[in-house]
Structure 1
Amino acid sequence: FTAHNNRNYIHLYQTLENNLTNLVKRNSELENQMAKLIQICQQVEVNTAMHEAKLVEECDELVEIIRQRKQIIAVKIKESKVMKLRKLAQQMANCRQCLERSRALITQAEHSLKENDHARFLQTARNVAERVAMATASSQVLIPDVNLNEAFDNFALDFSREKKILEGLDYLTAPSPPSIRDELCTASHDTITVHWTSEDEFSVTSYELQYTIYTGQTNFISLYNSVDSWMIVPNIKQNHYTVHGLQSGTRYVFFVKAINQAGSRNSDPARLKTNSQPFKLDPKTAHKKLRLSNDCLTMEKDESSLKKSHTPERFSSTGSYGAAGNVFIDSGCHYWEVLLGASTWYAVGVAYKSAPKNEWSGKNSSSWVFSRCNNNFMVRHNGKEMLVEASHQLRRLGVLLDYDNNSLSFYDAMNSQHLHTFEVSFLLPVAPTFMIWNKSVMILSGLPVPDFVDCPEEHQEGMMTLCRQQESSYVSGMKGCH
């Protein structure tokens, strides 16, 4: 019984102790939360007082402007009054003079009419009659011209527009976050044009575009806070902008900031990529038995020398029937396609500049290729070959060179099918390389990476695992072209 009580005591003691520890921890968290809430309340009080003071200041400025404008307009009204009264006074003086002359003439005429002596009447009345007749015939001589339009202007105080503006006064807040429109954004191999929209377009004074190379970091808050890595384009007035001088085949992260006097807000991040580096076939690297088109995008095997055998081994002594691209790639993610037409003997891949020119691509450690030898498809590197499953109707071969992530992949572009991926730790810049032993091929370069090969990050590990499994099945020295 005593042992049982001891166990109960220990159990209860430990339970109470653990619960007390949790309660103390919980109480500490609540105290921290309360302290934060109190701090926020204090900040709200400070901010509110600041905004109220600013409101009074702004309104006082408006009232002062209205007072000044009232005074200026009142002075103009008084000046107009003085000018018009001065003109009217002059007209009244002229009218008074005419009236006095007219009264004097009337008095003289009436006095002449009262003269009973015919001789005197004829002597004085003739002069008076001429003056009366002249004054009667020409009323302008007696009555001055009065211009009423000068006395009464069409003057009005119309403050309706200002009243509407004043009625629209409100508490200005930072604009809503803009939204980057991925579907409207465009790119070349060295530019990206970013488009965005804003719900508060009329309250935005300017936009600011920020961008950096995307390194795979998924924590955008942490990425955004790393200010040193960001390029900033300020004071953008329109809702689009073209960034120049970017790296080809590279993914970038973009933010757009909407700004007004109250503050700014950022858009959600957008990941946009430049297109692949465009290139053509370099005539200097082409075999003399190959014909290149004028645009250097198509190469054709001169089959006049082919008599009975179509086996490429027959031409091994004369060197490789190939050509290289006119670029060397040392960064970024690049995609190009090869239109294979009816060719059944070819090799497509990449090679270092140091790769031997007189042997097949893939026969050395400086080149990696996907090849077709009649009915066999294979990948080849450093003399090692491995068969690959592919359709005999393969007409469009996609090549994805992800230099920064050390991979070279091949795809059936028409069927969106992955064929093979090399894992390569590239040490030097590489050039696209092409070889044919019959028919012709055409190069399509400068393409964006298509969606079916632009795998999300979570799929990359699975692809790398598949590639490692494929690499383990290499058979050294397998002669697929025999």
Structure 2
Amino acid sequence: QTIHKQTLENNLTNLVKRNSELENQMAKLIQICQQVEVNTAMHEAKLVEECDELVEIIRQRKQIIAVKIKESKVMKLRKLAQQIANCRQCLERSSALITQAEQSLKENDHARFLQSARNVAERVAMATASSQVLIPDVNLNEAFDNFALDFSREKKILEGLDYLTAPNPPAIREELCTASHDTITVHWTSDDEFSVTSYELQYTIYTGQTNFISLYNSADSWMIVPNIKQNHYTVHGLQSGTRYIFFVKAINQAGSRNSEPARLKTNSQPFKLDPKTAHKKLRLSNDCLTMEKDESSLKKSHTPERFSGTGSYGAAGNVFIDSGCHYWEVLLGASTWYAVGVAYKSAPKNEWSGKNSSSWVFSRCNNNFLVRHDGKEMLVEASLQLRRLGVLLDYDNNSLSFYDAMNSHHIHTFEISFLLPVVPTFMIWNKSVMILSGLPVPDFVDGVSSDLQEQQQQ
């Protein structure tokens, strides 16, 4: 009985809770219904107001155009009346002359006929010769001109009047977006392009947060570009090698809607090999992206001691890095004897191989791979077929990582509290290597980088 009672009490508690939830839900629905009524009344009132304004504009235009028509009529009739008066005057003169001529012809007395006919004959001859002057010119354009009433365009506009709603969300086309080391050009499309008055672009640095609603509500960290009229925009002044979150907002008088978020990233800072830092027995290509060791100067015996720092067959990148995230790759070719890493720009050339506290390198010595810093070295696992080495320098998060870029494999990460600007360094003791810079940070590197950040935060 106790068990049944407890079960009933639990069920009753759940039912009461459920009932309370339903009451809250119903109250919200009633509130929404009331808001719909209020909004509908507001829209209806606005419709009447807008239509009354349109009717008033049409009434005013009708009155103005009617006045112009009447003014045109008065002007034309005035000109035509003047021409009629001229015609009447000419007609009266001609009629009087005809009458005089006819009377002269009826005169039987020869002397009097000659006396009256001489004067009349001269006037008739002059009138006949100047008939074009006597008869006024009739200008038909005085009655018919190019004035016309054409409201076809306005009719189409009026027929297109509709209940305006906020535009549909635009869509960011990631496949069309482009980037450099400090810019991103965002492209988007919109189904309601003709109803959109402007777009607004919003962006912030992506920190790995997956709750976009919470991220979007943290307005302090967002940069906003308003009043964009085209469906693309280039953002300048971004951090290199950094991932950003972008939203596009389509706006018209009725409201706005946001696109889905897009994660876009800048490329890394591009650089080349600096010839001024290169060893004299290294050959640099014309584009300063490839360095080759002069094999004739290489001794037949290779010793770990030689590799560990007595030689300085290296060159540095022509960039000083003191912030941001940077990624580059090294095509190793057939080289089996090299050291790749970073060093403080104040470090001597012959100490770029990790033998002091100012340099950090990943090295290969024949079949051994190792990392070295401050004279301490540690063997690491890497494939003997390693041909493409990825280097990620995250200066702001104090890390330097190396990857097998072909196989998306993480090799090693140094955790470094950087104190000074650093330069990329490259040393070889055989063959050649090629530098690829200005690359975007690969997705597999992003994953490892964020994991390391979480470990550091813990």
**Taking structure 1 as the reference length, what is the TM-score of the superposition?**
0.83
The farther-off stretch of 142-151 and 328-337 is 328-337
Could you say if the C-alpha distance between residues 50 and 378 of structure 1 is closer, same or farther in structure 2, counting changes exceeding 3 Å?
same
Could you say if the C-alpha distance between residues 354 and 119 of structure 1 is closer, same or farther in structure 2, counting changes exceeding 3 Å?
closer
Could you say if the C-alpha distance between residues 264 and 476 of structure 1 is closer, same or farther in structure 2, counting changes exceeding 3 Å?
closer
- Cα displacement (A) at 1:270: 0.9
Alignment root-mean-square deviation, CA: 4.7
Contact kept, 8 Å, 1:180 with 1:195, in 2: the verdict is: yes
Task: State the alpha-carbon separation in 1 of the partners of residues 46 and 341 from structure 2.
Answer: 67
- Cα displacement (A) at 1:402: 3.8
- Cα displacement (A) at 1:254: 0.9
Task: State the alpha-carbon separation in 1 of the partners of residues 199 and 454 from structure 2.
Answer: 61
CA deviation map 1:321-354 (0-9, x unaligned): 4344344445443221112233211122234557
Q: Tell me the matched-pair count.
A: 453
CA deviation map 1:125-149 (0-9, x unaligned): 3322333344345433543222122
| Secondary structure of 2:413's aligned partner | strand
| Secondary structure of 2:117's aligned partner | helix
| Secondary structure of 2:330's aligned partner | strand
Could you say if the C-alpha distance between residues 376 and 164 of structure 1 is closer, same or farther in structure 2, counting changes exceeding 3 Å?
same
Contact kept, 8 Å, 1:385 with 1:475, in 2: the verdict is: no
Task: State the alpha-carbon separation in 2 of the partners of residues 241 and 474 from structure 1.
Answer: 32
Task: State the alpha-carbon separation in 1 of the partners of residues 187 and 41 from structure 2.
Answer: 39
Could you say if the C-alpha distance between residues 338 and 473 of structure 1 is closer, same or farther in structure 2, counting changes exceeding 3 Å?
closer
CA deviation map 1:422-474 (0-9, x unaligned): 555666654333222223322222211234544xxxxxxxxxxxxxxxxx999
Contact kept, 8 Å, 1:385 with 1:476, in 2: the verdict is: no
CA deviation map 1:364-423 (0-9, x unaligned): 565443221112233345555554454434332222334455554333334444444455
Provide the residue aligned with 2:137 in structure 1: 145
Could you say if the C-alpha distance between residues 355 and 475 of structure 1 is closer, same or farther in structure 2, counting changes exceeding 3 Å?
farther
Task: State the alpha-carbon separation in 2 of the partners of residues 321 and 141 from structure 1.
Answer: 109
Provide the residue aligned with 1:74 in structure 2: 66
| Secondary structure of 1:350's aligned partner | strand
- Cα displacement (A) at 1:179: 1.0
Task: State the alpha-carbon separation in 1 of the partners of residues 454 and 359 from structure 2.
Answer: 16
The farther-off stretch of 307-316 and 262-271 is 307-316
Query: Which structure 1 segments of 5+ residues have no match?
Result: 1-9, 455-471
Task: State the alpha-carbon separation in 2 of the partners of residues 415 and 16 from structure 1.
Answer: 61
- Equivalences for residues 329-340 of structure 1 within 5 A: 329-340=321-332
| Secondary structure of 1:478's aligned partner | helix
- Cα displacement (A) at 1:279: 2.8
Contact kept, 8 Å, 2:314 with 2:349, in 1: the verdict is: no
Could you say if the C-alpha distance between residues 112 and 194 of structure 1 is closer, same or farther in structure 2, counting changes exceeding 3 Å?
same
CA deviation map 1:66-111 (0-9, x unaligned): 1111111111111111111111111121122122222222222232
CA deviation map 1:267-310 (0-9, x unaligned): 11111111112233455655565455565433333444433312
Query: Which structure 2 segments of 5+ residues have no match?
Result: none
Contact kept, 8 Å, 2:307 with 2:365, in 1: the verdict is: no
CA deviation map 1:186-218 (0-9, x unaligned): 111111111111111122221111111111111
| Secondary structure of 1:449's aligned partner | coil
| Secondary structure of 2:418's aligned partner | coil
Task: State the alpha-carbon separation in 2 of the partners of residues 307 and 169 from structure 1.
Answer: 87
The farther-off stretch of 179-188 and 41-50 is 41-50
| Secondary structure of 2:162's aligned partner | coil
2:267 to 265, 275, 282: 275
Task: State the alpha-carbon separation in 1 of the partners of residues 369 and 264 from structure 2.
Answer: 35
Could you say if the C-alpha distance between residues 134 and 357 of structure 1 is closer, same or farther in structure 2, counting changes exceeding 3 Å?
closer
Task: State the alpha-carbon separation in 1 of the partners of residues 147 and 253 from structure 2.
Answer: 38
Could you say if the C-alpha distance between residues 361 and 314 of structure 1 is closer, same or farther in structure 2, counting changes exceeding 3 Å?
closer
Task: State the alpha-carbon separation in 2 of the partners of residues 182 and 18 from structure 1.
Answer: 53
Contact kept, 8 Å, 2:399 with 2:416, in 1: the verdict is: yes
**Taking structure 2 as the reference length, what is the TM-score of the superposition?**
0.87
Could you say if the C-alpha distance between residues 283 and 349 of structure 1 is closer, same or farther in structure 2, counting changes exceeding 3 Å?
same
Contact kept, 8 Å, 1:290 with 1:300, in 2: the verdict is: yes
Give the fraction of aligned pairs with identical amino acids, expressed as a percent. Answer: 94
Task: State the alpha-carbon separation in 2 of the partners of residues 68 and 255 from structure 1.
Answer: 45
